[in-house]
Structure 1
């Protein structure tokens, strides 16, 4: 079983590029950040800091291209040779206030994620809290907080991303997507064989 503790930022941009950044404070690979990018044409790119992380993430989700690049992160500023992204998080959402009422130990448990999955599907279109992680593995997302994103700027392959927009259409990396409303979700991800 592998456990990743951190947060996920999901944003859409007026250029049509959608980006999901994972900032992991604790994981089997130590602290790291990675980014999943989907272009307006549907081309899915993983930007990972090491080959080991790239292999794990690419074995869990679906990409058309994998790039191993040096990554620098400071808060929600992410920089690599391919991608620069500066995300400004705002206040806690109503969902975040609700998530904070659930004890963290319970919210992070795979059994709880299984129980909340049908609710998440209805409340947040495209969001799932459990599903397939590739290779016969199962993945569980235990969310403990949720904040709105209020601004974004950056570029991908040297092209300006434009300003903040809904995450629409939903990125197609795996069984679950980020919410349509740009947001930062504090999460514990558990991958089981």
Structure 2
């Protein structure tokens, strides 16, 4: 079982581009950030910091293009910033959401347990369409998302090769990288992602 501990940010832009940022404090390869991008035409791109990360992520999720680029990110109380090759993002963070407060009631050890995540998976999509907590990933892998809290994203700026991608928007339609999408409402979640390899 591979474990990734950190944050995932999901947001849309006025141009129709949707972004899912994974900022991992702990992983099999130490801290790193990667970004999954789906543009208005449905083209899916992975921006990864190393070939090892790119190979692992692209074996778990589906992309039309994989780019190994310099990736840097910062996260503080108010802001998430990402610079990943052609992509630049700055997001203003808000407070803990209603969902985040509800998630905090579940002890973290239980909230990140694969057994618990399999059990609640049928309910996840009822509360947040497109979202799942457990499912089949690529190449026979099984994946579990254990979210322990969530914060809103209030505003964002993003550009690709210097071209403005437009202001903050909902993450719709759902992204198509794997078995689960990020929530439609822009947010940053604290999460443990567990991937069981065959």
TM category, shorter: over 0.9
| Contact 2:47 2:85 (8 Å CA) reproduced | no
Within a 5 Å distance, the mapping from 1:35-54 to structure 2 comes to 35-54=35-54
* Structure 1: stretches of 5+ with no match in the other structure: none
TM-score (norm 1): 0.98
Q: Does 1:100 align with 2:100?
A: no
Which residue number corresponds to residue 118 of structure 1?
A: 122
Structure 1 residues 1-193: aligned runs within 5 Å: 1-75=1-75, 76-193=80-197
Provide the C-alpha distance between the structure 1 equivalents of 2:25 and 2:55, rounded to a whole number of angstroms: 19
Give CA-to-partner distance per residue, 1:111-158, whole Å, 9 cap, x none: 111111111110001000011121111000001001111011020233
* Partner SS for 1:101: coil
Q: Distance in 2 between matches of 1:59 and 1:66?
A: 11
Deviation of residue 161 (structure 1)? 1.2
Shift of 1:81: 2.2
The two structures have a TM-score, normalised by structure 2, of 0.96
Cα RMSD of the aligned pairs, angstroms, is 0.7
Q: Which runs of 5+ in 2 are unaligned?
A: none
The number of aligned residues is: 193
SS at match of 1:87: strand
CA contact (8 A) 2:124 2:133 kept: yes
Q: Where has structure 1 moved over 6 Å in runs of 4 or more?
A: none
Aligned partners of 2:12 and 2:168 also within 8 Å: yes
Distance in 1 (CA, whole Å) between partners of 2:103 and 2:95 is 14
